[in-house]
Amino acid sequence: KAGVTQTPRYLIKTRGQQVTLSCSPISGHRSVSWYQQTPGQGLQFLFEYFSETQRNKGNFPGRFSGRQFSNSRSEMNVSTLELGDSALYLCASSLAPPGPHEQYFGPGTRLTVT
Partner 1 sequence: GENVEQHPSTLSVQEGDSAVIKCTYSDSASNYFPWYKQELGKRPQLIIDIRSNVGEKKDQRIAVTLNKTAKHFSLHITETQPEDSAVYFCAASQGVTGGGNKLTFGTGTQLKVEL
Interface residues with partner 1 (CB under 8 A) are 31, 33, 35, 42-45, 48, 50, 55-56, 58, 90, 92, 94, 97-108
Q: Which is nearer to partner 1, 18 or 102 (CB)?
A: 102
**Is the Cβ–Cβ distance between 69 and 52 less than 8 Å?**
yes
CB of 27 to partner 1, least distance (A): 17
CB of 109 to partner 1, least distance (A): 11
Q: Which is nearer to partner 1, 36 or 81 (CB)?
A: 36
Q: Which is nearer to partner 1, 72 or 94 (CB)?
A: 94
CB of 100 to partner 1, least distance (A): 3
Enter the DSSP assignment of 25. P
**Is the Cβ–Cβ distance between 65 and 72 less than 8 Å?**
no
In whole angstroms, how far apart are CA 49 and each of 28, 39, 75, 96, 110? 14, 25, 10, 10, 21
